A and B are shown apart, each in its own frame.
Chain A
Amino acid sequence: MSLLTFTALLFVGALLAGLLGALTGLGGGVVLVPLLTLGFHVDIRYAIGVSLISVIATSSGAAAAYVREGFSSVRIGMFLEVATTLGAILGAYLATVVHTQALAIIFGVVLLYSAFLSWQQSRKPVPELTKGSPWSDKLRLSGDYPGQDGKRCKYEVENIPGGFGLMFVAGALSGLLGIGSGAVKVLAMDRIMKVPFKVSTTTSNFMIGVTAAASAGIYLHRGLISPGLAFPVMLGVLSGSLIGARYLVRAHVAVLRVVFTFVILALGVEMIINGVTKWF
């Protein structure tokens, strides 16, 4: 394969990953690493490095649109970023000591879990408003968001230590595997802290960029961000996600989500099998 063909294929693959990621709200990062390792036979460490910077690009690129909606909470985000950035540094450190095939297997397991979360989320009931923990006001995490009738809906949060702890795990996964781990971040806010779903998803988007930046510097310094891979992948994922965000309203999201869930499931199985057979 010539360099030009390889680069062009990478760009198209990354574009599709970004497009599907944006349309389904699951992010392009989860399919990018399997695409690069299984599809293009790139060493997983290169794949993770390049995925990490694509994650920063998509999260920052989508930020302005998310702000316009008026759901995100800068305080919840900043508070929990303490946990995710610390986790990210631990994850980036762990990436150096973990065997590459083990990385592939862990990645596969995370994919399977993401598929499970995505399946579960599509059938979850609307959570009822709760009286939050007293620390919700003390830490100024309580807030409000625009409701359907134009009034602002107030919310409080609960189980802050639980959310903080899971955010640390989300950060570690991000630093270890080069993914945004948006699904885990939403889980921590939405399920554990009882932050309203829309607030959770938009706030998570902001946190993804900062979390990835915490470990990206370490990856860059280790020489893990390869220029020849970085430019087609980053530009591809970013274009794909921006196109996806634009057509989000018109697409059949429910169908796409099911399809994407199966894609993730299949990739997860493939990553695990591939990791195990190459290791032993």
Chain B
Amino acid sequence: MPEEHKGHFDDRTMETVMGRLLQIGVLLASFVMLVGGVLYMRAHQVMPDYRVFEPGSMALRHVGGVVKGVAAGDSAAVIQLAVLLLIATPVARVVFALVAFGIERDKLYIAVSAVVLAVLFLGFLRSQ
């Protein structure tokens, strides 16, 4: 593409890879979610009361607890693992953008992506 400046071409490639990345993340999360759902339905018969809010199990609120739960075969933990994968998907997109802007040597957007990533982690850390 001679009439297009190089930066643009690289942006398109970047976006194509990003699209794939997001698709793979969602596919993976959906698969884990489906497995977790089937296990959950086999393990539970009684409907929880969702009318009144009651904070979920402490163990399933952080990564370590979820991993431990999955290892122990807890169906709720498998579902939470899918949720974690889902949350990680857009974050992975920002990480990839940071790398891609690095390859393009676009200092401004390296900084912008780094700020977005920092805000995302601020959200996770603040909640710990």
B116 A3 Cβ-Cβ under 8 A:
no
> With A56-B86, A57-B29, A217-B87 known to touch, is A210 a contact of B116 (CB < 8 Å)?
yes
Q: What is the bound-complex CA distance between A213 and B121, given in angstroms?
A: 10
User: What residues on A are CB-neighbors of B14 within 8 Å?
Assistant: 74
- The main secondary structure of chain B at its interface with chain A is helix
> A58-100 vs B: 1/0 string, CB under 8 Å?
0111011111101010110011011001101100100000001
A227 B76 Cβ-Cβ under 8 A:
yes
A234 B112 Cβ-Cβ under 8 A:
no
Q: What is the bound-complex CA distance between A89 and B46, given in angstroms?
A: 35
User: What residues on B are CB-neighbors of A235 within 8 Å?
Assistant: 30, 33-34, 37
A82 B115 Cβ-Cβ under 8 A:
yes
B116 A78 Cβ-Cβ under 8 A:
yes
State which of B11, B22, B52, B112 has its C-beta within 8 Å of the C-beta of A43.
Answer: B52
From residue 134 to 152 of chain A, which have CB atoms closer than 8 A to chain B? 139-140, 143-144, 152
A78 B113 Cβ-Cβ under 8 A:
yes
- The main secondary structure of chain A at its interface with chain B is helix
State which of B41, B55, B127 has its C-beta within 8 Å of the C-beta of A3.
Answer: B41
Q: What is the bound-complex CA distance between A215 and B55, given in angstroms?
A: 17
Interface residues on B, range: 35 or more
B19 A63 Cβ-Cβ under 8 A:
yes
B93 A227 Cβ-Cβ under 8 A:
no
State which of A81, A100, A209 has its C-beta within 8 Å of the C-beta of B22.
Answer: A209
From residue 40 to 60 of chain B, which have CB atoms closer than 8 A to chain A? 40-41, 44-48, 50-53, 55-58, 60
Most B C-beta atoms less than 10 A away, residue of A3, A217, A234: A217
A212 CB-CB contact with B under 8 Å: yes
| Chain B nearest Cβ from A143, distance in angstroms | 8
Q: What is the bound-complex CA distance between A209 and B19, given in angstroms?
A: 12
B126 CB-CB contact with A under 8 Å: yes
B119 A214 Cβ-Cβ under 8 A:
yes
Q: What is the bound-complex CA distance between A42 and B50, given in angstroms?
A: 5
Minimum CB distance partner of B27 in chain A: A61
| Chain A nearest Cβ from B79, distance in angstroms | 4
B80 A85 Cβ-Cβ under 8 A:
no
Most A C-beta atoms less than 10 A away, residue of B11, B29, B119, B126: B119
Minimum CB distance partner of A3 in chain B: B47
> With A41-B50, A217-B127 known to touch, is A60 a contact of B22 (CB < 8 Å)?
yes
User: What residues on A are CB-neighbors of B18 within 8 Å?
Assistant: 63, 67, 74, 206
> With A74-B18, A232-B37 known to touch, is A212 a contact of B112 (CB < 8 Å)?
no
User: What residues on A are CB-neighbors of B116 within 8 Å?
Assistant: 78, 81-82, 85, 210
Q: What is the bound-complex CA distance between A82 and B18, given in angstroms?
A: 18
B50 A74 Cβ-Cβ under 8 A:
no
User: Which of A112-120, A218-226, A254-262 is the interface stretch?
Assistant: A218-226
From residue 76 to 100 of chain B, which have CB atoms closer than 8 A to chain A? 76, 79-80, 82-84, 86-91, 93-94, 97
A249 CB-CB contact with B under 8 Å: no
A122 CB-CB contact with B under 8 Å: no
Q: What is the bound-complex CA distance between A158 and B118, given in angstroms?
A: 27
A67-B15, A214-B119 provided; 19 other pairs, C-beta below 8 A?
A43-B52, A65-B19, A68-B19, A70-B12, A89-B119, A89-B126, A92-B123, A209-B90, A209-B93, A213-B87, A218-B124, A220-B61, A223-B60, A224-B55, A226-B56, A227-B56, A230-B79, A230-B82, A230-B83
Q: List 13 A-B contacts (CB under 8 A).
A: A3-B45, A42-B51, A63-B22, A82-B112, A82-B115, A82-B119, A210-B120, A212-B90, A217-B120, A227-B36, A230-B79, A230-B83, A231-B40
